[in-house]
């Protein structure tokens, strides 16, 4: 029976791999309750968030949380969920890419900047948050929207897709990141947005910072501060 089960597993795995889908086990030896629902797609990103959040909370790392590039709020919802006692700053135009960032993107052939992210709103995003009272909306052009904030951060997600807001995000958030905190930068290994990799490499090389790439759908990198 054991050999039959293994054969079925490998057969299903082979079929899924042809469709670029994979069956793997995740954190099977962790006995604590999971902080987020790992049944969602892109579970590697979600699972890594869960692990980093546990480290932050277990080590009493100070600071609040933020996301730069919120779109419809699906990842922000998870951040809000795993950090129920922390403020969550939401930085986004909530209207799609800004033309100033797109212009630079096209001039440097990083991407076409043509993807439409306008199908969102502040109300939609906040309706998804389990703890909406903790959310602070900063609508508009970043980094202008960060003016006047005097805060530190334990966790930041940067998912702005384009070179300029990402390099600006790293310059703004990393100095304000608490020791033991993490920054996730989405799309690092997404060839459709090559400016992401350029921004991360440029910033980390200049500041002598290491990072870890993870194998989620868009190739996120995780930057920590020791």
Per residue in 200-222, pLDDT (tens digit) is 999 999 999 999 999 888 999 99
Domain assignment of residue 173, yes or no = yes
Domain assignment of residue 5, yes or no = no
Domain assignment of residue 7, yes or no = no
CA atoms within 13 A on the CB side of 63: 25
Sheet order of strands, 153-158 included: 135-139, 88-92, 64-68, 153-158, 177-185, 221-224, 211-213
Domain assignment of residue 47, yes or no = yes
Domain assignment of residue 3, yes or no = no
Range of the domain at 57: 26-224
Task: Give the model confidence (pLDDT) of 67-80 as tens digits.
Answer: 999 999 999 999 99
Mean pLDDT of the chain: 91
The arithmetic mean of pLDDT across residues 118-131, rounded, is: 97
What is the pTM (predicted TM-score) of this model? 0.86
Task: For residue 125, name the pLDDT band (cuts at 50, 70, 90).
Answer: very high
Decide if 105 contacts 163 (C-beta within 8 A). Answer: yes
Nearest by Cα to 23 from 4, 36, 9? 9
Say whether 198 sits in a helix, a strand or coil: helix
Domain assignment of residue 194, yes or no = yes
Residue 106: phi and psi, rounded to 5, are: -70, -40
Question: What pLDDT is recorded for position 52?
Answer: 97
Task: For residue 164, name the pLDDT band (cuts at 50, 70, 90).
Answer: very high
For residue 160, what is the DSSP state?
-
Say whether 91 sits in a helix, a strand or coil: strand
Domain assignment of residue 171, yes or no = yes
Number of independent structural domains in the chain:
1
Q: Indicate whether 183 pLDDT > 60.
A: yes
Question: What pLDDT is recorded for position 33?
Answer: 72
Domain assignment of residue 19, yes or no = no
**Alpha carbon of 153 to those of 47, 136, 157: distances in Å?**
20, 14, 11
pLDDT-above-70 percentage for the chain: 87
Task: Give the model confidence (pLDDT) of 100-109 as tens digits.
Answer: 999 999 999 9
Looking up residue 144, the CATH number of its domain turns out to be 3.40.50.150
Q: How far is Cα 180 from Cα 55, in angstroms, rounded to an integer?
A: 8
**Alpha carbon of 122 to those of 17, 76, 89, 98, 128: distances in Å?**
38, 12, 12, 17, 10
Task: For residue 92, name the pLDDT band (cuts at 50, 70, 90).
Answer: very high
Q: How many residues does this entry show for the chain?
A: 226
pLDDT-above-90 percentage for the chain: 78
């Amino acid at each position: 029976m054991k050999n039959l089960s293994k054969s079925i597993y490998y057969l299903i795995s082979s079929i899924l791999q042809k469709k670029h889908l994979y069956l793997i086990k995740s954190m099977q030896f962790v006995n604590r309750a999971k902080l987020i629902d790992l049944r969602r797609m892109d579970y590697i990103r979600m699972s890594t968030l869960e692990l980093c959040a546990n480290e932050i909370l277990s080590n009493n790392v100070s600071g609040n949380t933020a996301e730069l590039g919120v779109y419809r709020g699906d990842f922000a919802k998870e951040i809000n969920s795993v950090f129920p006692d922390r403020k969550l700053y939401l930085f986004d135009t909530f209207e799609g890419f800004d033309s100033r960032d797109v212009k630079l993107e096209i001039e440097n052939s990083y991407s076409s900047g043509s993807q439409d992210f306008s199908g969102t709103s502040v109300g939609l995003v906040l309706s998804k948050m389990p703890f909406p009272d903790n959310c602070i909306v900063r609508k508009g052009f970043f980094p202008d929207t960060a003016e006047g904030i005097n805060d530190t951060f334990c966790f930041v997600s940067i998912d702005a897709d384009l070179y300029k807001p990402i390099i600006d995000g790293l310059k703004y958030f990393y100095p304000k990141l608490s020791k033991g905190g993490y920054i996730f930068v989405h799309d690092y290994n997404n060839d459709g947005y090559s400016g992401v990799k350029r921004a991360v490499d440029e910033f980390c090389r200049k500041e002598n910072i290491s990072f870890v790439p993870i194998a989620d759908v868009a190739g996120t990198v995780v930057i920590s501060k020791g």
